[in-house]
Amino acid sequence: MPSATQGLILKLDCPDQPGIVAKIAGYVAGHQGNLVEFAQFSDPLGGKFFARLEIDTRALDVELADFIEGFGTLGRSMKATWHFRALPYRMRTAVLVTKTDHCLNEILWRAQMAELPVEITSIIGNRDNCRALAERYNIPFHLIGMDGENRERGFQKIRDLLDEQHVELAVLARFMQILPDWFCEAYRGRLINIHHSFLPAFIGANPYRQAHDRGVKLIGATCHYVTSDLDAGPIIEQEVERVQHFHSPLDLARLGRNCERTALAKGIRYHVHDRTIIDGNRAIVFPD
Residues 22, 162, single domain; the answer is: no
Collapse the DSSP code of 35 into the 3-class scheme (helix H, G, I; strand E, B; otherwise coil) and give the result: strand
User: Burial of 125 by CB count in 10 Å (0-12 exposed, 13-18 middle, 19+ buried)?
Assistant: buried
C-alpha 218/C-alpha 213 separation (Å) is: 13
In a domain, 229, yes or no: yes
Residues 247, 127, single domain; the answer is: yes
Residues 67, 97, single domain; the answer is: no
Q: Give the CATH number for residue 222.
A: 3.40.50.170
In a domain, 1, yes or no: no
Of the CA atoms within 13 Å of residue 71, those in its CB half-sphere come to 24
- pLDDT attached to residue 72: 97
Residues 60, 128, single domain; the answer is: no
Domain boundary among 87, 122, 143: 87
C-alpha 87/C-alpha 134 separation (Å) is: 28
Residues 136, 266, single domain; the answer is: yes
Annotated catalytic residue: which of 160, 163, 231, 274? 231
In a domain, 163, yes or no: yes
Q: Give the CATH number for residue 22.
A: 3.30.70.260
In a domain, 97, yes or no: yes
Look up the domain containing 35 and give its range: 7-87
Distance of CA 96 to the CA centre of its chain: 14
- Our count of domains for the chain comes to 2
- pLDDT attached to residue 123: 98
Q: Facing residues of 14 across strands?
A: 49
Domain boundary among 41, 61, 87: 87
Residues 124, 146, single domain; the answer is: yes
CB count in 10 Å sphere of residue 263: 25
Work out whether strand 141-143 and strand 118-125 pair parallel, antiparallel, or are unpaired: parallel
Residues 98, 83, single domain; the answer is: no
In a domain, 2, yes or no: no
Residues 180, 264, single domain; the answer is: yes
Is 231 an annotated catalytic residue? yes
The Cα angle at residue 193 between residues 166 and 107, in degrees rounded to 5: 70
- pLDDT attached to residue 4: 46
- pLDDT attached to residue 1: 42
- pLDDT attached to residue 264: 97
In a domain, 206, yes or no: yes
Residues 156, 193, single domain; the answer is: yes
C-alpha 100/C-alpha 157 separation (Å) is: 22
C-alpha 258/C-alpha 242 separation (Å) is: 12
In a domain, 103, yes or no: yes
Residues 100, 75, single domain; the answer is: no
What's the whole-model pTM score?
Answer: 0.92
Residues 107, 228, single domain; the answer is: yes
Q: What is the pLDDT along the chain (288 residues), one digit of tens a residue?
A: 445 468 999 999 999 999 999 999 999 999 999 999 999 999 999 999 999 999 999 999 999 999 999 999 999 999 999 999 999 999 999 999 999 999 999 999 999 999 999 999 999 999 999 999 999 999 999 999 999 889 999 999 999 999 999 999 999 999 999 999 999 999 999 999 998 766 556 666 677 788 888 888 888 889 999 998 877 899 999 999 999 999 998 998 899 899 999 999 999 999 999 999 999 999 999 999
- pLDDT attached to residue 91: 97
In a domain, 212, yes or no: yes
C-alpha 58/C-alpha 229 separation (Å) is: 44
Dihedral angle over CA of 127, 119, 4, 262, nearest 10: -10
Domain boundary among 87, 106, 121: 87
Residues 98, 79, single domain; the answer is: no
